[in-house]
Structure 1
């Protein structure tokens, strides 16, 4: 089947276009006010749709965040995969992940970034939505395993757990550190160094 034939046609294409407009308007409003205070009326006005159209595509505000999370996860995983096709070591991979997640925070803004993390760790997520299904975690775990195979790291715990611990710590630092850009950069660099030392062969 050709690429043209694979593209959505007719009503399906229109639905996807409308969904994207609603999502983009919701992301903008969430970034301005935060998810809890976001005004649905503002979202539908900016998207140029009826209020019912918002709820058709996104039954709750959490659904907006989940869709945004999936979109950004795919974006970051794609950028990380491109980086991994170039010569690299584990230190470079962890530093790249820090830059990608920090760029996401800047792009979304502090309020929306925190809302995204809240839904990411929400106990109300579907039970089959496990950490192992997150592509960024999978890529980091893969790189930790490969570093161990090269003798550059030691797996004290499962590589997946090491990747999860690294990302949780990164999220915590990004949401709690403030002050100058130089100070934050230094803190994040120290975090990468500390993570690498924790993985050093004993």
Structure 2
């Protein structure tokens, strides 16, 4: 019996001396390296944040939409400056005398009254001209001017309002005799020499004297 037991012990394979070390090292590595557990915690935290983000997202209040659109429109308007020139205009009246009556006119006056303001202004008239022919070379153009036989002038009236005023035009010949003497109610309108909305304008009106001496306004 002792001989059989010896044989069985001899046939049983001996345990490798590193087997126990490998198992212990694997257990220690699992305990020392928490990568797997950390990854699980990270995935769990990301899922929680996504859930909170979904809960925090709310629909946009549609009542604020017009305000947003208005702000964008104003920003677009401010980013596109208006193309304006720097021309100015004076308040007053233009005076045009028809060629048929012009040879008889030497000068005159214009009285303008509104509210409690009233003033008389000298009317200086000059020969009116018009372009007869024009020629262009590239972007440069020139025009030949000719006299039309009419008379033209402009009377500056400081503080002229954009409202109805009483205008009395009196034109005389060389002897001082009145050829035209007429009063009429006129409402000057604001000019826009630099384009719409660019400023620089003043109230003006135009007085046209017909061949019969009657005054008309534009």
Question: TM-score, length-normalised on structure 2?
Answer: 0.17
Which structure carries more strand by proportion?
Answer: 2
- Richer in helix (by share): 1
TM-score by length of 1: 0.17
